[in-house]
Structure 1
Amino acid sequence: MTAAAEQLAYTPSAVSQQIRKLEAELGLQVLARHAKGVDLTDAGRAVVEHVAGIERRLAALHEQLEDIRGARAGTLRLGTFPTFGASLLPFAITGFASRHPGVSLSVRSARLSGLLELLHTREIDMAVLWDYEWSRLDEAGLSVRELLADPTRLVVSAAHRLAGQDSVGVGELARERWITRADHHPVAEVLLRTCQAAGYEPVVSFEAHDYQEAQAMVAAGLGVALVPQLALSGVREDVRVLGLGGEAPSRRIMLAHSADRAPSPVGTAMTKILRQVAREGGRDIGTAAAP
């Protein structure tokens, strides 16, 4: 009892009071008191066994919480859209996995409306989103941080009259036939607004269902196309990519999470990596063919 009191920085009397309080709560004696001191009773030995187990579990919990605090453990559910998923996101995933191998990372890909729904239902923790200047994302309940601007490029066939140029003005394209995206895709509105700002209406010759199909139709000479730079991570050998001198709108790429939910340590770690990838890798996508 004296040794226990010294270890706990209590008086022997205080330790004795705590023991008696425990015995009163249990309805059993935990110590057998006699002239030569005290011994543990069966009940006392059972208490000691369980306390030792509790101490081990508390130590394990403390270690696990430290791993979560240090982004060495935990889970992260990330949302993305196809062109970001096919271009920059793989760099972020490999970088995150190498720095945080103990974290369970899952990724969901969807269009903008789907990503917003996943955020609001908390099926994902954060998502990479996009918008244009005429339809700024103003979603209640979300905290949004810009990652990069994704400029619009012009894709022409390798045999096109403009194929040897680095850039072109939108006004020079008034007589071109255009390939755009089907199903009211946002890039169709980019095309319409860009051409109307230059004083003409675009003549659409084909509506593609993805950017690779659009490139194939461009390569076949069916028309030219406006494409976000992030969609040019895989450029065909029989097409060329030209700059537009800022005459076509860029889209804003953002990272969003619920405003009422502070990012977890692993979420903060992924945010840092995504910002780094956007800063260092964004200018490399499609630049082999465009200035």
Structure 2
Amino acid sequence: MLDVKRLQVLLAIVEEGSVTAAAAALGYTPSAVSQQLLRLEREAGQPLLDRHARGMRPTDAGLVLATHARKVVRQLAAAEADLQDIAGVRRGSVTLGTFPTVGSSFLPLAVRRYRELYPNITLTISSGREDHLVRMLEEGAVAMSFLWDYEWDRVSNDELVLTELFTDPTVLLVGASHRLARRRTVDIAALADEPWIIRAGGHPVVEVLERSAVAAGFTPTIAFQANDYQEAQAMVSVGLGIALAPRTATVNQHPDVRVISLGSSAPSRRVLVAHRAGRVRGAAELALHDVLVETASSYPGR
């Protein structure tokens, strides 16, 4: 029986015109291509190529066999494509939930990679607050969603399966002319006398500040309550106060704001991806999960 891989070698030589060119096209060495050709000629029982100064020409037998090889190779490629379509990694759709700080930092990196690998899959993304994201997971409105938590308030939901992607440290935001602007690391205990800008509406970063301040022995003085991190950065930039933020919230950094590490003096949060327990997960969804994990493993903001 003729070997399919050797037929591919013959076809490459016929189409490229030489062993060297065929080897380059196939990613083989010229020696490996020559060996495969000799074995194929033994299987066929007759010469398949005529060697000449400018390369190789197929014999009548080689031309017939190359014609059949072309059909076989195309049919194999079509079979593989059909299997991938059935598996859902070439076509299909997947839905994902996210929250703003991850949606503006980590997620675009993962989306770019996913589209490179699976350009025909439709990816639909919805952004919202965490309670809304959990509800969408439970109702099946999204297949997966990013979530986050702190050590004192872990996500605890028996209906969800969680995968930790990366740790998102809490950082300090100060104006470019602030006395600490040139520091790389600051302990939060050194900030007792500073005015603070916080997020309005009971945002979780407020609890991060309160817990950190209590641990450091002071009560923070609040100068302004911002509706989002961009507004907070604007107020920090003009010296109204300083602020805390997850590092993912500082990707779009104000030019007059400096980001300083707080080391272990302020708690970090976990960034997670979740799906509903018992969900039958399609190949497109599993592929997205793998891309998220892969992207997180080398994420510079972690």
Off by >6 Å, runs of 4+ in structure 1 = none
1:266 CA displacement: 1.0
1:65 CA displacement: 6.0
Counterpart of 1:260 in structure 2 is 278
Residue-pair matches, total? 224
Counterpart of 1:235 in structure 2 is 253
Counterpart of 2:37 in structure 1 is none
The aligned runs of 1:9-20 (5 Å cut-off) are none
Are 1:125 and 2:143 an aligned pair? yes
Counterpart of 1:113 in structure 2 is 131
CA contact (8 A) 1:158 1:239 kept: yes
Counterpart of 1:245 in structure 2 is 263
CA contact (8 A) 2:148 2:271 kept: yes
User: CA offsets, 1:123-179, max 9 Å, x none?
Assistant: 100001101111100012111110000000000001101111111111100000100
Take 2:88 and 2:126, find their aligned partners in 1: how far apart are those partners? 25
Match of 2:197, SS state, is: strand
Q: 1:94 aligns with which of 109, 112, 121?
A: 112
The aligned runs of 1:1-291 (5 Å cut-off) are 66-69=84-87, 71-281=89-299, 283-284=300-301
Task: Among all aligned residue pairs of Structure 1 and Structure 2, give the percentage whose two residues are the same amino acid.
Answer: 45
- Which AA in structure 1 matches 2:121? V
* Unmatched tracts of structure 2, length 5 or more: 1-77
Take 1:235 and 1:128, find their aligned partners in 2: how far apart are those partners? 22
CA contact (8 A) 1:73 1:103 kept: yes
Match of 1:134, SS state, is: coil
CA contact (8 A) 2:144 2:274 kept: yes
User: CA offsets, 1:36-83, max 9 Å, x none?
Assistant: xxxxxxxxxxxxxxxxxxxxxxxx9x9766414151111100000000
* Unmatched tracts of structure 1, length 5 or more: 1-59, 286-291
CA contact (8 A) 1:153 1:226 kept: yes
1:262 CA displacement: 3.7
1:272 CA displacement: 1.3
TM-score normalised by structure 2 residue count: 0.72
Take 1:166 and 1:174, find their aligned partners in 2: how far apart are those partners? 18
Match of 1:133, SS state, is: coil
TM-score normalised by structure 1 residue count: 0.74
- Which AA in structure 1 matches 2:220? P
- Which AA in structure 1 matches 2:151? E
User: Structure 1 99/63 Cα, relative in aligned 2: closer, same or farther at 3 Å?
Assistant: closer
